[in-house]
Homo-oligomer: A and B are copies of this chain.
């Protein structure tokens, strides 16, 4: 595995690759969720590029940019074990200049749910992903379903800008007790972690009652609220795969999303129905 730190080196290397490239952009602190993305990229492409970059433009003022977990040595080892070909580790000054061309996420889709709580967050996400796509020019790029709204917006960006990149949607990885893997889980105390289990429980309960043909989102939501009654729930939302709000579950075209604050930590989770 080759570690790359400069734009010039990455561009030079990319020019020399004529076979298929799979790209996995990350912010590091790699867990089994990331590993599953990397493994899938490994199995579907000749060359795998992983990036680790804690992108400042997607953090709002007061968010956890400075304390976002960093484990670069362990991350590097993981990538090596997963037979990644190139690990791209840029600095902020490598990625950004002054007074840049900006990307603006769509008005409607990007200012609901996560975008409503984190205004401008998705502008930063799309900006850095577009930069990384420009550098790595992947055939396929891998994103987890856990950040479902991010995934929908990246897919839309690829469509709107005709980038011709296959966006591969990867399943959410969970602890054996159901907690969705997240780099931010390290912020949780034992008690908070235990409380947080109600999130995935509520999602699985929703799937169970949908299995019994309850498709009314209002009813499902009330059921989920009961399960998460001890938690500070920011939203429970029902959207289709185009991320438009729905009132009735459409099988194979719905996503149920939850955002919860546990102590100072925001956790998001979802289930694709």
Q: Which residues of B contact A159 (CB under 8 A)?
A: 97
- The bracket for how many chain A residues form the interface is 20 to 34
- Known contacts A162-B7, A162-B131; is A103 also within 8 Å of B100 by CB? no
User: A99 contacts which of B99, B108, B131 (Cβ < 8 Å)?
Assistant: B108
Give 1 or 0 for each of A99-118: 1 = CB within 8 Å of chain B CB. Answer: 11111111111000000000
Give every chain B residue within 8 A of A157 (Cβ-Cβ). Answer: 101
Instruction: Tell me the bound Cα distance from A185 to B181 in angstroms.
Output: 62
Report how far A78 CA is from B160 CA in the complex, Å. Answer: 30
Task: With both chains docked as a complex, state the minimum distance between the C-beta of A18 and any C-beta of chain B, in angstroms.
Answer: 8
Q: Does A55 contact B (CB under 8 A)?
A: no
A263 part of interface (Cβ distance < 8 Å) = no
Q: Most chain-B CB neighbours within 10 Å: which of A104, A159, A162?
A: A162
Asked whether A35 is an interface residue with its Cβ less than 8 Å from the other chain, the reply is no
Q: Does A211 contact B (CB under 8 A)?
A: no
Name which residue of chain B comes closest to A100, CB basis.
Answer: B160
**Chain B residues whose CB sits within 8 angstroms of the CB of A135 once the complex forms:** 162, 164
Least distance between A123 CB and chain B CB atoms (Å): 9
Docked complex Cα distance between A156 and B97 (Å) = 10
Is A131's CB under 8 angstroms from B160's CB? yes
Cα distance A73–B99 in the bound complex, in angstroms? 41
Known A101-B126, A101-B156, A126-B101: A134·B161 in contact at CB below 8 Å: yes
Chain B proximity of A232: nearest CB distance (Å): 31
Is A130 an interface residue, CB under 8 A from the partner? yes
Q: How far is the CB of A20 from chain B (nearest CB, A)?
A: 12
Instruction: Specify which of B99, B104, B134 is in contact with A162 (CB 8 Å cutoff).
Output: B134
* Chain A 91-150 interface residues, beta-carbon cutoff 8 Å to B: 97, 99-109, 126, 130-131, 134-135, 137
Q: State which of B130, B134, B161, B164 has its C-beta within 8 Å of the C-beta of A164.
A: B134
**Contact present for A103 and B106 (CB under 8 Å):** no
Residues of B within 8 A of A101 (CB): 103-106, 126, 153, 156-157, 160-161
User: Which residue numbers of A lie inside 8 Å of B, CB to CB?
Assistant: 7, 11, 14-15, 97, 99-109, 126, 130-131, 134-135, 137, 153, 156-157, 159-164
19 residue pairs A–B, Cβ–Cβ below 8 Å = A7-B162, A14-B164, A97-B160, A99-B106, A99-B108, A100-B156, A101-B103, A101-B106, A101-B126, A101-B156, A101-B160, A102-B106, A103-B103, A104-B104, A134-B161, A134-B162, A134-B163, A135-B164, A137-B164
Nearest 10 Cβ contacts at the A-B interface: A134-B162, A102-B104, A99-B106, A101-B157, A101-B160, A135-B162, A134-B161, A100-B160, A99-B108, A134-B163
